[in-house]
């Protein structure tokens, strides 16, 4: 299934008129395999080099993430401080609850915040996109 997803990413790149190169293939593969592990640019970098079997420049990883984001295939989420984590866009969107002490993160369904986002939209004309930034707090242990 992950390989199917990797192939879909590659195909989507091609459809966008973007070039399919060896580093990009590896990056897509690593994304497809690890997107549910809160991949950051740096862990994606590592995984991509492992997948390719040779070095890839970190700037290439960032530029590829950028290309995939602009193509709407990937997006990034900020879990408090530290690096952004990456998600495949065709996966179920969810919000993140991150503990500011230990970094523990829970995914919660969009519908859990529906009431809030609706109310804020009505009152302030704001459309909340908290799937892009996590909700920060403290988990049970902290």
Partner DNA sequence: CTCGATGCAAAGGTTTTGCACCAGG
Partner DNA sequence: CCTGGTGCAAAACCTTTGCATCGAG
* 136 is a site residue for a copy of itself (CB under 8 A): yes
Token output for 139: 């988990």
* 40 is a site residue for DNA (CB under 7 A): yes
Alpha-carbon distance of 28 to 43, in angstroms, equals 13
* 83 is a site residue for DNA (CB under 7 A): yes
Residue 60 partner contact from DNA, a copy of itself, none using kind-dependent CB cut-offs of 5 to 8 Å: DNA
Token output for 36: 């549910």
* 110 is a site residue for DNA (CB under 7 A): no
Q: Which is nearer to DNA, 60 or 117 (CB)?
A: 60
What is the total residue count of the chain? Answer: 142
Residue 140 backbone zone (phi > 0: left; psi -120 to 50: alpha; other: beta): alpha
* 129 is a site residue for a copy of itself (CB under 8 A): yes
CA nearest neighbour of 58 among 70, 46, 69: 46
* 42 is a site residue for DNA (CB under 7 A): yes
Residues that bind DNA (CB under 7 A): 14, 18-24, 40-42, 55-60, 62-64, 66-67, 76, 82-84
């Amino acid at each position: 299934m992950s390989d199917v997803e990797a192939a879909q990413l590659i195909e989507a790149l091609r459809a966008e008129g973007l070039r399919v190169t060896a580093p990009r293939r590896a990056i897509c593969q690593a994304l497809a395999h690890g997107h549910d592990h809160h991949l950051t640019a740096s862990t994606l970098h590592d995984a991509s080099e492992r997948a390719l079997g040779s070095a890839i420049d970190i700037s290439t990883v960032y530029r590829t993430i950028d290309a995939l984001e602009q193509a709407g295939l990937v997006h990034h989420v900020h879990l408090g401080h530290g690096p952004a984590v990456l998600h495949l866009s065709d996966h179920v969107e969810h919000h993140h609850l991150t503990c500011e002490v230990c970094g523990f993160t829970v995914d919660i369904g969009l519908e859990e915040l529906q009431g809030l986002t609706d109310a804020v939209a009505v009152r302030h004309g704001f459309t909340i996109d908290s799937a892009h930034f996590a909700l920060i707090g403290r988990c049970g242990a902290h």
